[in-house]
Structure 1
Amino acid sequence: MTPVEAKQALETSFSPFLAQPLTLTYGDQEWTPTVSEIGVRIEIDSAIEAAYAAGRKNGLIANLREVAAVWENGLELPLHMTIDQEAMQRYLASRVGDIDQPAVDASLEIDGSLISVQPSAAGQQLLISDTLQEITAAIQGLSPQQIALRTRELQPRLSDGAAQEAQRQIAALLTAPVTLTAGDEQFVWSIDDLARLVRVERIASTDGDTLAVSLDRDQISQKIAAIADATEIKGRYPRVDWNGGNLQITKEGTPGDRVDEARAIDLVTTAIQGTGPQREATLTFAAVPPPVTQANIQQLGIDGLLSVGKSDFTGSAAYRITNIKAGMALLHGVLIAPGDEFSFNNTVGNIDASNGFVEGYAIVQNRTQLEWGGGICQDSTTMFRAAFWAGLPITERWGHSFYISWYNKYAFAEYGDGPGMDATIFTGGPDFKFLNDTGHWLLIQTAVNVASRVAEVRIYGTDTGREVLLDGPTITNRVPAPSQPVYIAEPKIPQGSRHQSDTARGGMQINFTRIVKQNGQMVEQRDFVTKFRPWPDIFEVNPADLGPDGKPMPTPEPTPETPPPGETRTSRLLTRTSRLLTRTSRLLTRTSRLLTRTSRPSHPPAKGSLWLSAL
């Protein structure tokens, strides 16, 4: 038999194996790889060459002996087969690997009070090494074989039971809202609020993972801090005197009260974890010492003058001067912490006798009447000017409703005098506020010089490097005073007489711009506008003297009197002259009062009425 015939015979003999060496099965799935796909190769050519070489590779005598032996006993030659394990592994990974399925752990889903468990599922893994060993052994027989893939089941790390236990623990935490009491206030944490506080942590274990349920103390701490902020009773900073730069406390600060946050966290945690029907906790307070004492006052960084605000109150009545001094005394020595907003109304407090104020005339809703603290706007105006020139952000400021001439002096500091640089306030209404954005503490010092009629506010702090410039003022929209007077019904006015409560004055608009530079860079350019409304002469008249048109009715001509016997024309003339002088004296007295009259500020005008600013 020739080598070719031998090869054909061998290939025919092994053709079933070479066509489909094996069938891999898994359940109802089958895979039929070719010999090349699994890296199997039979060395037929080598076997034929070895057989054909028998009796031909030695000398004549040796070859004859070898041929005789083959003839008598036959010749057995091994048929070599090579297996490429890497090719076989690639086939399993690419064609059969999709039977790998990871195990699915149980999971928890929390939606408010609804806690659900997603069940676990087992997975499976193809055991490639074990399968390769079986394939290698099977193909040694060079006949088609069927081999079941070797796999193993993968169990989930987190079982349904572990998730269900965590579900039970969470449900116990969310049975009902929790009520917290802090002082006079109550705060209710809803079930949804509580659900956001639940923390679930997975704990690994060789026997299977578990879920640890707890409360997130960081989140509880944040919520408690918000309650503490809302209920805190702030202490008062001390009052401080500049004292030439050697700061001295003139009135000690007072401690505040704040929720004891560390203890509150424990109380709240206990309330949430409690199993009783009363899910509540009463939060306790702890004293908060004043942040500024004589021991640390020199560390506040208050080392220089930042600005000065001045105003003139020449012509003020005694009650007005009293109120100016009372307000300035309440402002003197005030500390403003970094980031705090100064409020004039909150700082001054009650404008009444308890704080040294007296009643004075003020114009309120078209009427002149006694009000506490008339003239306090002198102080708010002076404070506005100091904050303006310090370059501090003005967060609230209201201009007066009508023009007041004595606010002209010192209005624009080195830029000169003029109208419009004022600020009106009223308890419960318009306020003057500014922000301490310097990053350091500020100190307010005030002074009232009765002899020179000058009020002054000085602001001390740490040099900010700010330069404050002024553009303006510009006066526009001048409107003359109304020519027609206004008459107000006032039963207290005697019939037949009238009282002038207001004098006419024109209106105008004043615009000025503050430019603030810091270290040469512009950080603010802000426009300020003051609008003065035109204001008429206002007279108070007895209602019986007003006609249907709201104006006084004409006074009837007096009936000539018959002179008593013996009265001469000269004596009658002297009597009339005396009466005229008396009336003139009364008029001069009323005029003097009008010139010194002041008014307090009020709320912005309501529809159908007008509030006038304080003088």
Structure 2
Amino acid sequence: MFNKKLIKKLKTKLKKIRQSRNFRISLKISGLLFFFLISYLILFLGRISPGIYVARISLAGKTPEEAVQLLSQKIKTPSRIILVGENETFEIDLEKTGFSYDFVKTARAAYELDKTGNIFYDLYKRAVLPIKNANLGLRLSFDEEKLSETLSVIAGQASIEPVHPSVKLVGKNVVVEKGQKGQELDTEKLRIEIGQSLTFAKNDPVVLSIKVIDPTLTDEEGEKLQGRAKNLINKRLFLNFEYETYSLRENDLFKFFDPKNEYLEESLSVYISDLALKINREPQNPNFIFEAGRVREFAPAKDGVKVKEELLKEMIVGNLRTLETSEEKILNIDVPFEATSPEIKTGDVNNMGIKELIGRGSSRFRGSIPSRIYNLTLAASRFNGILIEPGKVFSFNQILGEVSAETGYKQAYIIKDGRTELDDGGGVCQVSTTFFRAVLDTGLPVIERRAHAYRVGYYEQDSSVGFDATVYEPTTDFKFKNNTPGHLLIQTYSNTSTASLVFEIYGTSDGRIATTSKPVVTDVVPPPEDLYVDDPGLPEGTTKQIDWKAWGAKVWFDYEVTRDGETIYEKTFYSNYKPWQTIYLRGTGPAQ
């Protein structure tokens, strides 16, 4: 029992001795660490800590000022940097890019690396740096604009434009080009690598980072694209706005194809943006100046228009899908838009009932000789700005006046005495024909109208056969009556670039609706054989065409005007076109 108590006392005493010894050792170690820490702080007060390098140059123990001096001595600012590609080498003149090192900022960054103000982080950093060194980069700067210009030039030389897949209709065949690979310089990555090289003063060539662009199609993708394109052969998509129509044919529609997916968003957006530029407009207030019984200046009020581009894109895509997957040949889209009303309406600037557009007619004259275009433009100008009183019967010939060289007309082809010949005023019938179409669109009663002796190709460029009206003073006139509540104002527009003539009729709408039936064509007769007439006035061996062939036919269509569901006027128009032969003069005279 005695021994056990003694042993227990001895153990307790030994434990206390050991604890006292460990405490003294710990205290001594802590004191030493504190001493070294204070010594370290005093030794490197205002200086860069050990273990800190810049571009592999030790700055330990240096003040920021001394570090600047050392870096200036050790680091030479390069005048150029070499870029190496697979088959070519480029050199950048760094002076032209505004390149420079900033040693002051570099030294300051090195000094402040372990002096953040966070005492625990800073102490940890100072303890670790001698073991795990920090190699900082040099601070540098460029003229960013000049550097971008330099890299842009290099990119242009190092890049190869890819050839994107395409499909087009050549004749009757669908041709698919599968595309070719290209490459482009990764300028952002190159900029980083140039910075890395200069930051650490490596002075080694920088390898160009090239990205391969591969838009090419596989055989399977090419066949699929060709199949899609074949589904659109002989199909059309028309975009309609007011009186303009924008036609998209096969090759136009093919541009919207995404060779690897469905449709190209970018191509659709570009097309729609360009279309919107043509259509969009600000609201327009009207202009109306009446002098000497005629409107000298007129511009109707117009709503402001802004195309709903996203909606139009959806509509085009939907119609494209329909054309691709159905038997439909032609689809029409009314261009969607937002309208903004002008501050003043047309009816606010006159007391004659000229409020709105109530009728419009148009025709084309592609292929006309210059003198004919001159004449029809001159004749149309005679009608621009005229006012027609309510209840008045209008005579075309009365307003047109004399047609002769004395009144400014040139010689062009007319139908006279059963043949086509040159005479003053050829082309005037294009004006009466266009006016006739505007009157039909307005819903006015036609008092007098006569068709041409034979079919004229100009009048069927944008219209069905039978919608023409000839005039010839004093025997043939075109007349109609203004049975609307107000005056009618006539506006004419001749556009030689589009070979189009337009008549617009402004007035007061009383709710009438005019319709014309599809023309009925019967008794079609082919043209007679070509006729050659001997002419001693032409040298022997020469020919001169003086007439052109046309098919004969009888044509009629119905014209009906209704208001509130009741018919207020109706008429059937008849045309009897004779077959016309080509006539040549054949020279029989002496050679010249």
Normalising by the smaller structure, the TM-score range is: 0.3 to 0.5
Flag the structure with more relative contact order, 1 or 2, with Cα contacts below 8 A and sequence separation at least 6.
1
Greater Rg over alpha carbons, structure: 1
Normalising by structure 2, we get a TM-score of 0.41
